[in-house]
Structure 1
């Protein structure tokens, strides 16, 4: 019986994780659930799954949840704050931690799970975008086991030889590990989001409601906007760089609107191995939770007789400038990717609040990246400080030149 901690339980990844766990009660039990401020959603989850701990990052939300759980007769202990998130992630009885907190807020609790040598299911890509070198070093030193959850990285992982999968889990990859396995390229597929065919002249008029309406995937607002701007794919490229010890030059992004092929690995003999499936996160989550076994899910298999044509195209720089900013940042180094991620979180928040146009998100990101392109930050304190500096620069740019 695996004891689960789910960081970000009320989000789409957290919900899918609990769905998989509920299908296999003989294999998984819920030790702790965490959320930011969604009291009602957490109350329902706690009453259903009866975790020993529930953590709210906001103290007021924790107090409200505690009152409602007590009134319902629940024995779940409610904790609050960032340290509590880290504590449950590193709890001695926790076997597996789903790291699904969106954004920079997920870095410290995910690191806590790694340092405690847990099996970490990594859905929080910002942990690698902000602190890839430090994070992977901690995986190697602690003996933690790391399994990718993003559908793209999970697909790549499935397409690798078993020996290389084990090396990825423990971050025991060498500079020439891909070369030794005769891998020439990693190919990340991208749906292109809801505006793949939208005229560029209309981008200034795109509304938040339009941007969060992804054609294939059910995701939270922030990730949906990132998918629409292709920043999400840029962050995934940075994540792939660290996960698979792969140079940026060996990672290709291909537009694939149907989201049937989740990613591919190209070998030196010309073969390309792809992982296909429905656009449902329960598939990669179940694969990671049971690895190296496979367990059943309620996801329907593909029916190839009903599939329409699968199409592919390259990503235009003019349509998806955020993708190319992420590629540049990855080449610059850790500080640049940290700054870009911080700027993007601020810009997307401003867009969702109606303070910034859709086409201005990339302008904010470019301005911040330019300022921090040659910065350096290797230790955790310096990374967190640079993250805050980049956010302030982004806020200033939004309130100044773009106001």
Structure 2
């Protein structure tokens, strides 16, 4: 029996994690649940899984839940509540599926408490990969990737020597605007941005997929997860989303991991590794499979990949700048304040303004994140008055 704390339990990855748990009540129990402000869904999850504690980051939402809940689960709130869910004694594994930079502090706390991490919050490694990986080694805990692409690479590396890897090949669907040029994207609306062709995901990550910033973040994440130079990480557009990523070895052999576009597959593997268990999910039908195609990404139109390579190679606090500017820009887009292409402008200006700091502590990242968000919000204000 594995005891799990799920940070971000009402989001896309969190709800799918609970779907996996629901299928295997003999394998998993839920020790803690944490969400942002969806008190009604969290209450349903509490009633079903009966965790020792549950957290709503939004204090008003927590107060609403406390006012009507009479069970035994302890209801917590705020940053302190998130940390408590991350370090709860009953849990041995923490699924970190909080959105964005907010996942960094709870993840570091969970590692310090000796918890194994099922990592769905890629921003944690993007912002502070060196610190996070060093702490994981120091505390002798595992960080297993939940992202479909990184789970695929992880599986393709099994039984092989890392120094024999010549290339990590991250696949990308291309998002909803694959094949479009900059002029085509001048006036796209929110609904078009959120219409992903193959994956069902949260709103923020769907926008990141449309800009290919998400793939850029995964490049930086791969660098830290697999201790691989940026020169050995390549993005390949694969619209069918059947090959989830690949590893090329020095002899020319390419190992690919394939499966349906179902996030429960990598979630379950991260939770049960090195074992595999059955899962009620659609399987690939090779007799009726569509043609598999592969393309070079259009980085002139979709600048997220090049931004990530630049930030990653500069290192230090620059990936933190990329992430903070992107989070502010995506939030502004979703609120109708800026246009789709403004996301690139905000990221570029934030990175140009920043002088990267090297050899930093975790607290430096929090300070830089706050400063960049302030700068990016001012850019949003200027863009929103057009």
Deviates more, 1:253-262 or 1:368-377: 368-377
C-alpha root-mean-square deviation of aligned residues, in Å? 1.3
Distance 2:261 2:46 in 1: 28
Q: Give 1:401 deviation, angstroms.
A: 6.0
- Which residue number corresponds to residue 306 of structure 2? 324
- Which residue number corresponds to residue 60 of structure 2? 60
Deviations 1:194-246 (A, max 9, x none): 00033431211111111111111111100000000000000000000000000
Question: Which TM-score applies when normalising by structure 2?
Answer: 0.97
Matched, 1:187 2:187: no
CA contact (8 A) 1:132 1:334 kept: no
The equivalent position to 2:253 in structure 1, one of 260, 268, 271, is 271
CA contact (8 A) 2:175 2:197 kept: yes
Question: Which TM-score applies when normalising by structure 1?
Answer: 0.93
CA contact (8 A) 1:116 1:144 kept: no
Alignment of 1:15-26 (within 5 A): 15-26=15-26
Matched, 1:155 2:152: yes
Name the count of aligned residue pairs. Answer: 385
Q: Give 1:374 deviation, angstroms.
A: 3.1
CA contact (8 A) 1:255 1:313 kept: yes
Distance 2:133 2:122 in 1: 13
Matched, 1:201 2:183: yes
Alignment of 1:88-127 (within 5 A): 88-127=85-124
CA contact (8 A) 2:35 2:57 kept: yes
Q: Give 1:266 deviation, angstroms.
A: 0.1
Deviations 1:257-307 (A, max 9, x none): 000000000001110000000000010011111110001111122001111
Alignment of 1:316-355 (within 5 A): 316-355=298-337
The equivalent position to 1:219 in structure 2, one of 188, 191, 201, is 201
- Which residue number corresponds to residue 241 of structure 1? 223
The equivalent position to 1:293 in structure 2, one of 263, 275, 287, is 275
Q: Give 1:373 deviation, angstroms.
A: 4.7
SS in 1 for 2:236: strand
Distance 1:290 1:368 in 2: 40
Deviations 1:132-178 (A, max 9, x none): 111111001011111011000000000013476xxxxxxxxxxxxx2
- Which residue number corresponds to residue 303 of structure 1? 285
Alignment of 1:7-18 (within 5 A): 7-18=7-18
- Which residue number corresponds to residue 168 of structure 1? none
Distance 1:223 1:216 in 2: 13
For structure 2, the residue ranges without an aligned partner over 5 or more in a row are none
- Which residue number corresponds to residue 369 of structure 1? 351
Q: Give 1:334 deviation, angstroms.
A: 2.7
Distance 1:372 1:188 in 2: 28
CA contact (8 A) 2:7 2:85 kept: no
